[in-house]
Amino acid sequence: MVTHEVLNQVPPLEGHDPVAADVALLVGVERHGGDWGVDELRALGVRAGDPEVLGWGELANRHEPELHRYDRSGHRIDEVEFHPSYHHLMTEAVAAGLHAAPWADERPGAHVVRAAKFAVWTQVEAGHGCPISMTYSIIPALRADAELSAEWEPRLTSRAYDPSSRPADTKRGATAGMAMTEKQGGSDVRANTTRAEPVSDGYLLTGHKWFCSAPQSDLFLVLAQAPGGLTCFAMPRWRPDGTRNAIRVERLKDKLGNRSNASSEIELDAAWARRLGDEGAGVPTIIRMVNHTRLDCVIGVTGQMRAGFAQAAHHVHHRQAFGRRLIEQPLMRQVLADLALESEAATVTMLRLAAAYDAGDEAFCRLATAVVKYWTCKRTPVFAAEALECFGGNGYVETGPMARLFRESPLNGIWEGSGNVICLDVLRAIGREPASLDALLAEIDLAAGADARFDAAVHDLHTELAGLAGANDPQARARRLTERLALTLQASLLLRHSTAAVADAFCGTRLARTGGLMFGALADGADVDAIVERAWTGAGRVPSPT
């Protein structure tokens, strides 16, 4: 017996092109010298909206990776089995160059194009982005050793994804992971106890790693205690003689989100590795990688924000309540406009940061990467919760798109340094590398005089900085200072590169605080309609300056 008709339910967001209407992304890529990559970006956007591709993302998370320690005969193999959908996602990501393109193609804007692509592709599924990001980030660290770089860089930059488990010199392409932290220290890597014993052809590493990213990778960066102190090592999955390296996968982590990614605990039992950088210089060596993985944290959450906005916008354009579509309800339009502000602010900041990596602007990258990583990652879980709430109860079920997005949202805030670790790094950069603060303030000051609220916020920022030197406990101010740096940077970029409606509303809510503290509490006079239309339809395009 039929008891009801299915009415007023929203169809899945399929066939949606996440690039076509993202005017802030497209104009930003062009602004920062990546116009040559726009066609590639648009093609990837079409793929990212393909129902088959979206299905891969769902399947890769539903059928999580499985660890097989032994083969049928009892041989130790430590293999991770993935659903075919995971490999489909990896194949397309590698073919699009998300894993290493800027290192092989050094055209101006290469990091910007890659960042835009990564932000789009992560909207399909975020978990497989871990080995993609690790592979991208490991290359600048490998360049500390010319021999290692010459051997591994061609493998890691190959556009062929080869998931087979065999020595890397027999494969069409390779991926990388890392194993840094240990259970007793976490972010305090100087507390690591893994030992590195020198031998004639390298080092033998013995110890336990609490988090190993992507244990199926071909090469890992590892921190261990050598005779000369904490040192960075390049550890292959297979030894040069073709035998398996002594990397034992103890278990896969049962995580809140990121379910498709095989994060693991590993035991090293005299695993062979080669030193990367000098003994005792492990942290300075690994920083070459960390800065790029932090950039990818920013890129990842920018993509997640855009995905959350798109899902919410799609839902409210279809769903009806109280006789009108939700998008026609003034309060819902306020919420959607506020989400659009946050998404565009993240987008313009992410692209500006990627452009600094293209330019080799180490001073700007040093501080700005930490500042932006902290703020955008902190905003993402709040953003995801608000986008989910636009669905009502339908957002809180695992059969819809929002549960996975919400569970993913805290990850990048923890990865490569949780909030306090990042804020301490901000203080360190300001104190030890003043050129990094000068570079960031110079960027912020480019919008001086454009808005009185912005000018007042910059004045308050300088007051905060001036008080830092004499503070009894600078750490107590670190979060507030980092937030001010992030918001004034975002406001400066929006004032220069977005529409008047977007910049005005951002300055009103984020700087002057004339609205409320929650999303959807915009100040009176905010041009809500213009903000929503720009974010959802691409209207209000601001041309890139010639």
User: What does the pLDDT average to over 213-241?
Assistant: 96
pLDDT digits (tens, 9 = 90+) for 39-70: 999 999 999 999 999 999 999 999 999 999 99
Domain that holds residue 63: 23-280
pLDDT for residue 546: 42
pLDDT for residue 272: 98
Q: Would residue 251 count as lying in a domain? A: yes
Q: Would residue 383 count as lying in a domain? A: yes
SS3 203: strand
pLDDT for residue 90: 98
Instruction: Kindly state whether residues 272 and 394 are assigned to the same domain.
Output: no
Instruction: Kindly state whether residues 348 and 478 are assigned to the same domain.
Output: yes
The CA-atom distances, in angstroms, between 1 and each of 5, 8, 83, 119 are 12, 21, 39, 47
Statement: residue 92 has pLDDT above 80:
yes
Structure tokens at 384: 């995801």
Instruction: Kindly state whether residues 409 and 525 are assigned to the same domain.
Output: yes
Query: What's the total number of domains in the chain?
Result: 2
pLDDT for residue 1: 65
pLDDT for residue 540: 67
Q: Would residue 3 count as lying in a domain? A: no
Statement: residue 6 has pLDDT above 90:
no
Instruction: Kindly state whether residues 178 and 121 are assigned to the same domain.
Output: yes
From CA 344, how far away is CA 503, in angstroms rounded? 10
Instruction: Kindly state whether residues 367 and 421 are assigned to the same domain.
Output: yes
pLDDT digits (tens, 9 = 90+) for 282-308: 999 988 889 999 999 999 999 999 999
Structural contact between residues 416 and 430, judged by C-beta atoms closer than 8 angstroms: no
Statement: residue 545 has pLDDT above 70:
no
pLDDT digits (tens, 9 = 90+) for 437-491: 999 999 999 999 999 999 999 999 999 999 988 788 899 999 999 999 999 999 9
Instruction: Kindly state whether residues 481 and 440 are assigned to the same domain.
Output: yes
Summary mean pLDDT of the chain: 95
Q: Read off the pLDDT band of 514 (50, 70, 90).
A: confident
Q: Would residue 11 count as lying in a domain? A: no
Structural contact between residues 313 and 536, judged by C-beta atoms closer than 8 angstroms: yes
Q: Read off the pLDDT band of 541 (50, 70, 90).
A: low
With b for 16 or more beta-carbon neighbours within 10 A and e for fewer, the 68-100 pattern comes to eeeeeeeeeebbbebbebbebbbebbbebbbbb
Instruction: Kindly state whether residues 434 and 522 are assigned to the same domain.
Output: yes
User: What does the pLDDT average to over 18-23?
Assistant: 95
Structure tokens at 17: 């092109």
Instruction: Kindly state whether residues 142 and 72 are assigned to the same domain.
Output: yes
The CA-atom distances, in angstroms, between 147 and each of 153, 276, 277, 414, 425 are 10, 10, 12, 33, 31
Instruction: Kindly state whether residues 149 and 271 are assigned to the same domain.
Output: yes
Question: What single-letter DSSP state applies at residue 238?
Answer: B
pLDDT digits (tens, 9 = 90+) for 469-483: 878 889 999 999 999
Measured in whole angstroms, the distance separating CA 249 from the mean position of its chain's CA atoms is: 26
Beta bridge partners of 70: 76
Instruction: Kindly state whether residues 250 and 313 are assigned to the same domain.
Output: no
Domain limit, last residue, from 234, 265, 280? 280
Instruction: Kindly state whether residues 225 and 141 are assigned to the same domain.
Output: yes
Q: Would residue 106 count as lying in a domain? A: yes
pLDDT for residue 544: 52
pTM here is 0.96
From CA 355, how far away is CA 136, in angstroms rounded? 16
pLDDT for residue 215: 95
pLDDT for residue 87: 98
User: What does the pLDDT average to over 93-117?
Assistant: 96
CATH number at residue 131: 2.40.110.20
Q: Would residue 546 count as lying in a domain? A: no
Domain limit, last residue, from 251, 280, 309? 280
SS3 210: strand
Length of the chain counted residue by residue = 546
Dihedral of CA atoms 427, 432, 438, 440 in degrees, nearest 10, equals: -40
CATH number at residue 526: 1.20.140.10
Structural contact between residues 86 and 329, judged by C-beta atoms closer than 8 angstroms: no
SS3 184: coil
Statement: residue 543 has pLDDT above 60:
no
Q: Would residue 543 count as lying in a domain? A: no
DSSP states along 269-287: EEEEEEEES-TT-HHHHHH
Q: Which of 348, 308, 208, 328 is nearest to 268 (CA)?
A: 208
User: What does the pLDDT average to over 259-272?
Assistant: 97
Element (H, E) at 359: helix 330-359
pLDDT digits (tens, 9 = 90+) for 492-501: 999 999 999 9
From CA 171, how far away is CA 168, in angstroms rounded? 5
User: What does the pLDDT average to over 529-541?
Assistant: 88
Domain limit, last residue, from 280, 300, 332? 280
Q: Which of 12, 6, 83, 4 is nearest to 318 (CA)?
A: 12
Q: Would residue 457 count as lying in a domain? A: yes
Instruction: Kindly state whether residues 82 and 183 are assigned to the same domain.
Output: yes
Structure tokens at 510: 């984020």
Structure tokens at 240: 């040069």
